[in-house]
Every structure is written in structure tokens, then in C-alpha cells.
């Protein structure tokens, strides 16, 4: 039997939707996936075979380049943080921890400042430009900047994150006109005690590529996906890299030490102070994390 390749765009109750060169098809997973307790998730590239009865069966998982738990997605090319300077304003710390996860997993980062009709968010743009992270200013209300965002995400698998109320649903709606998504849907579902059962789905962009959409993706989930050792946190801040290794003390953690080249770069303004503050906060949050706790954590 010939094996073909496909991309999982959604999975519900053991039934998967695959995007394949010959269109979208439904498939089940071979029993081996259940036995090995291997959960297939959107973004997974797999091989499948057509059975004589005309149904498709997933036979193998092609090794993942990366994966996130929330949103549950694999092989992401870009993680977009939607931020806003207008209420509800986005905290630097939220942005930095998401970007740190992305950087550590080798996923491209993009900062997209929404609600530019109310506040263009020049400070956000200035800080992240200095940190070497690309930024876009958009307005979901008028549609300004949305084509530029679509162009950026073209041909890639991406996920949007951001604090509740920042405009994620509105942006998705602009980018995926065929998809019905209620504005305010995410915020509503985040109400205490409410349980969101819908899982991540990849939506095809008109220009090619996919966006992962996870209803209920909240700040809480972002904190849960952060699992690393304190001494590795600097990998999540790529603009620190040129200075690491030149500090006075070997084993410098770059938080408060004298003769720290990272801190000197902050003092000179070469590294934004807010980025370093987030770094220190993350290190502090992770001070009790040990290697054995991270075993098997993606």
C-alpha cells in the first residue's frame, strides 16, 4: 500500500481531519497511537494509507519540530502575541514569557499591536524593535494593517496569543472571513467555572498557511507551558546572547551580579530594561525548578 503525507488540522474523538495534496479528508489513527499513548495534535505531519473500504488510516507521525501544550499545536512557524496599549493594556511580562517560550522552541516571534485607532502603542514597538523582534501595528476595527499581518503569516503555521480583550477574535474574523467566530467569544468562555471543550483547530488562510485557533487560550495557560531551568532562561531572550559568556563571574545568572555584561547592556540601553525585568522575574519564578521535573515535558 502506498503511504501519503498529510497535515492534521483538527482532531475530535479519535477522528482527524487531514489536509492532503488531494484535498481535505477524514482519517482514524492506527491502534498503535493509542497503545503508545501518543496523542496526535493539529500541526502534526503524518503518513496515511487508504484502506480498501475507502477510509483513511494514519500510520506514522513524522517527528515534530516543536509543540505547545496550550494552544495544543505542533510544528509552529510563528507565535504572534497580540498586544494593545489601549485597555486592556498588555503587560510586558506576559509578552516576554510567551516570546521566551517561542524563542526556546525555535519558533519565530511577532508582536502585533492592535487597537491602533485608540493608541498606536509606540512604546511597545520601540521596545520590541530594540529587542530584535518584528512588530506590526494593526486595527481590527478598521482593518488597517491586517493585510500586512496576513502577508507575514502567509504559508506558515501560526498561533495568536494575548491577554483577554486585546482583539484576537476580531483579528481572526478579519483574516478568516469565511469562519464564523463571535467577537467576545474567548472572553466569555473564560468566565470562572465555565469549561471550554473545543480544542485547537488550524484554519487555512486564503493566501496559504494556517492559523491555530484555541478558544479559551488564557494567560493561565501561558504560565503552564513555561517549563525550563533558570540557567536556560536567557535562551528565551535572544538579544542577551552577544553578552552571555563575557561576564566577570562564570555561572553569572545575569540578574543582579556585578560585572555582568548583560546588565551593562541594559544600563547602556542596548537591551530594553523591561525585557531584563521580565527575565529576572522569570528566573525568580523558576528558582525551584529542577531538571527531573522537566523530564518528558515538551
Q: Footprint of Zn ion on this chain (CB under 5 A)?
A: 247, 252, 254, 260, 262
Residue (168 or 254) nearer to Zn ion, CB: 254
d(CA 34, CA 37): 5
Q: Which residues bind ligand GDP (CB under 6 A)?
A: 114-115, 117-118, 139-141, 162, 164-170, 183-184, 186-187
Q: How far is the CB of 227 from Zn ion (least distance, A)?
A: 23
Residue (220 or 246) nearer to Zn ion, CB: 246
Q: How far is the CB of 85 from ligand GDP (least distance, A)?
A: 11
Q: How far is the CB of 185 from ligand GDP (least distance, A)?
A: 7
Using DSSP, state whether 30 is helix, strand or coil: coil
Q: How far is the CB of 91 from Zn ion (least distance, A)?
A: 25
143 CB neighbour count, 10 Å cutoff: 11
d(CA 4, CA 253): 48
Residue (56 or 166) nearer to ligand GDP, CB: 166
Residue (164 or 199) nearer to ligand GDP, CB: 164
Give backbone dihedrals phi and psi of 79, rounded to 5 degrees, phi first. -115, 120
Element housing 33 (H / E): helix 31-35
Give backbone dihedrals phi and psi of 26, rounded to 5 degrees, phi first. -95, 145
Per DSSP bridges, beta strands 201-204 and 4-12 are unpaired
Q: How far is the CB of 262 from Zn ion (least distance, A)?
A: 5
Q: How far is the CB of 247 from Zn ion (least distance, A)?
A: 3
Residue (18 or 202) nearer to ligand GDP, CB: 202
Buried b (16+ CB within 10 A) or exposed e, 10-35: bbeeeebbbbeeeeebebebeeebee
Total count of residues recorded for the chain: 298
Residue (139 or 233) nearer to Zn ion, CB: 233
252 binds, among Zn ion, ligand GDP, none (CB under 5 to 8 A by kind): Zn ion
Q: Which three cell numbers stand for residue 164?
A: 483577554
133 binds, among ligand GDP, Zn ion, none (CB under 5 to 8 A by kind): none
| Percent composition of the chain: helix, strand, coil (DSSP 3-state, to 5) | 30, 25, 45
187 binds, among Zn ion, ligand GDP, none (CB under 5 to 8 A by kind): ligand GDP
70 binds, among ligand GDP, Zn ion, none (CB under 5 to 8 A by kind): none
Amino acid at each position: 500500500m502506498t503511504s501519503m503525507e498529510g497535515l492534521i488540522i483538527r482532531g475530535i474523538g479519535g477522528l482527524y481531519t487531514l489536509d492532503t495534496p488531494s484535498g481535505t479528508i477524514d482519517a482514524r489513527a492506527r491502534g498503535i497511537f493509542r497503545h503508545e499513548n501518543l496523542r496526535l495534535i493539529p500541526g502534526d505531519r503524518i503518513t496515511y494509507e487508504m484502506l480498501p473500504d475507502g477510509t483513511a488510516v494514519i500510520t506514522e507521525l513524522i517527528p515534530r519540530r516543536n509543540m505547545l501544550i496550550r494552544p495544543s499545536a505542533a510544528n509552529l512557524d510563528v507565535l504572534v502575541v497580540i498586544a494593545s496599549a489601549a485597555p486592556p493594556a498588555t503587560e510586558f511580562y506576559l509578552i516576554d514569557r510567551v516570546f521566551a517560550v517561542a524563542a526556546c522552541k525555535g519558533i519565530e516571534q511577532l508582536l502585533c499591536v492592535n487597537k491602533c485607532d485608540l493608541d498606536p502603542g509606540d512604546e511597545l514597538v520601540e521596545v520590541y524593535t530594540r529587542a530584535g523582534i518584528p512588530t506590526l501595528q494593526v486595527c481590527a476595527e478598521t482593518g488597517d494593517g491586517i493585510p500586512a499581518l496576513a502577508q507575514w503569516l502567509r504559508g506558515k503555521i501560526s498561533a495568536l496569543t494575548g491577554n483577554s480583550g486585546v482583539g484576537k477574535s476580531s483579528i481572526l474574523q478579519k483574516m478568516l472571513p469565511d469562519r464564523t467566530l463571535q467577537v467576545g467569544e474567548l472572553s466569555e468562555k473564560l468566565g470562572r467555572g465555565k469549561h471550554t471543550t473545543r480544542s485547537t483547530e488550524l484554519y487555512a488562510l486564503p493566501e496559504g498557511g494556517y492559523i491555530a485557533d484555541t478558544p479559551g487560550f488564557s494567560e493561565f495557560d501561558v504560565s503552564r507551558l513555561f517549563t525550563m531551568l533558570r540557567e536556560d532562561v536567557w535562551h528565551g531572550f535572544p538579544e542577551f546572547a552577544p553578552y552571555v559568556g563575557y561576564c566577570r563571574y562564570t555561572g553569572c545568572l545575569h540578574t543582579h551580579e556585578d560585572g555582568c555584561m548583560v546588565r551593562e547592556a541594559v544600563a547602556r540601553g542596548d537591551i530594553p530594561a523591561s525585557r531584563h525585568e521580565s527575565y529576572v522575574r522569570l528566573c525568580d519564578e523558576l528558582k525551584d525548578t529542577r531538571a527531573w521535573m522537566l523530564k518528558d515535558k515538551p
